[in-house]
Amino acid sequence: REDLWVREGKILNPEKLFFDEKGSADIQLDCKDSIIAPGFIDVQINGGFGVDFSLATDDFKSGIDLVSQKILSHGVTSFCPTLVTSPPSVYHQVLPQISIRNGGAHGAGILGAHLEGPFISKEKKGAHPEHCLRTFEEGAFQDLLATYGSLDCVRIVTLAPEMKRSSEVIRELTKRGICVSLGHSVANLSQAEEAVQHGATFITHLFNAMLPFHHRDPGIVGLLTSDKIPAGRRVFYGMISDGIHTNPAALRIAHRAHPKGLVLVTDAIAGMGLAPGRHTLGQQVVEIDGLNTYIAGTKTLSGSVATMDTCVRHFQEATGCSVETALEAASLHPAQLLGIEHKKGTLNYDSDADFLMLNDGLYVQATYIAGEEVWRQDALGM
């Protein structure tokens, strides 16, 4: 029941305006009982609307522009384009074409790339092509640099912490401000804890592509309640809350064990927003059947076709959590994970005016970036 004041792209503390400048609003907007929430941040999205970020094409830029434009209608105001395990040539061609940029009418902001693989476990490769997987050799960090070509625009790297020499890689990446995520891994709990002690802060799609929880060695899942996490550090974990990748009971277990670390991700692939049928995910062909996406000819799940607003609604329904909690899992928590919570993920004074108007069912009515309306559900409900 409050007002939200915006000036020059930031959320304003109105006290200064009233008392020092004796000013008032130039434009007033009746939000008609909408919920105003921070814009959603998707830190794992492989593509959508026919665009696959792991395919090296000459018009890669127009593909990323299309996705950033289309996800505005799902409430996503910034994202990390994600590349699955690929040959080095793909990284060398694609990464220079990804630039970190602010969002606006042209589309959601790009926070930097998420590189998921190729330094992951063969046993838990999921939809990643086995012939492209790599291990760390002597001079492990140089090896990683040679594979990716450059880390200029990279924000997150997913790797398997049980790999030899992974700790030096985790330390080096962390030193450069890159978030290390554990995933596609058969690590036991102590290997996972050691990775966190070296600086890892995230878990890639919890429960998927890792050892299942076992009471004697809970594996990576055990990080949610580990007492070996360095003081003052929080481990975050991504969850694909699409009703397919994780049973609602597993979603509830994770949420109750460690609510402050839960980050909703779509893990969306090129087929998101398209009709069922065959699409790509990097080097693989995938088949979409309803909300299920499989590597063609198998029952191996390969990413999702869920949109972020769907994930938020499903999460809220599955856990019975408050609306605020559901919204924070898609906004505040990913911002904290990336260390940008002073700018994004909240409606605090001085933060970027990236926000959504939602109805009570948590359907997006309008999306704003830097205080400008960039998408609105039109009168026809399109």
Write down the pLDDT at residue 2. 85
Write down the pLDDT at residue 1. 79
Tokens of 343: 């700018």
- 52-97 pLDDT per residue, tens: 999 999 889 999 999 999 999 999 999 999 999 999 999 999 999 9
Write down the pLDDT at residue 278. 93
Contact (Cβ atoms closer than 8 angstroms) between residue 308 and residue 42 = yes
Is 7 a member of any domain?
Answer: no
Is 98 a member of any domain?
Answer: yes
Residue 131 marked as a ligand binder: no
- Please, what is the average pLDDT of the chain? 95
Q: How many folded domains does the chain comprise?
A: 1
Q: Give the list of residues 6+ apart from residue 317 with CB closer than 8 angstroms, or none.
A: none
Asked whether the predicted pLDDT for residue 374 surpasses 90, the reply is yes
Asked whether the predicted pLDDT for residue 382 surpasses 50, the reply is no
What element of type H or E holds 145? helix 140-148
Query: What pTM was estimated for this model as a whole?
Result: 0.97
Residue 68 marked as a ligand binder: no
- 176-205 pLDDT per residue, tens: 999 999 999 999 999 999 999 999 999 999
Contact (Cβ atoms closer than 8 angstroms) between residue 148 and residue 91 = yes
Mean pLDDT score, 210-215: 95
Is 27 a member of any domain?
Answer: no
Q: Tell me which of 42, 52, 242, 267 is the catalytic residue.
A: 267
CA distance 187 to 126: 15
290 band by pLDDT with thresholds 50, 70 and 90: confident
Is 264 a member of any domain?
Answer: yes
Is 154 a member of any domain?
Answer: yes
Residue 194 marked as a ligand binder: no
Is 22 a member of any domain?
Answer: no
Tokens of 305: 């076709």
Looking at the DSSP bridge assignments, the partners of residue 11 are: 6
Write down the pLDDT at residue 310. 97
Active site residue 227: no
379 band by pLDDT with thresholds 50, 70 and 90: low
Residue 255 marked as a ligand binder: no
Angle at which helix 189-197 crosses helix 166-175, to 10 degrees, equals: 30
Mean pLDDT score, 208-230: 96
Range of the domain at 292: 32-376
Is 26 a member of any domain?
Answer: no
Asked whether the predicted pLDDT for residue 380 surpasses 80, the reply is no
Asked whether the predicted pLDDT for residue 381 surpasses 80, the reply is no
Residue 303 marked as a ligand binder: yes
Least trusted range by pLDDT, from 35-39, 197-201, 296-300: 296-300
Is 12 a member of any domain?
Answer: no
More confident residue, 34 or 290: 34
Least trusted range by pLDDT, from 25-29, 179-183, 262-266: 25-29
Q: What is the CATH number of the domain that holds 357?
A: 3.20.20.140
Residue 184 marked as a ligand binder: yes
Instruction: State CA 379 to chain mean position distance.
Output: 31
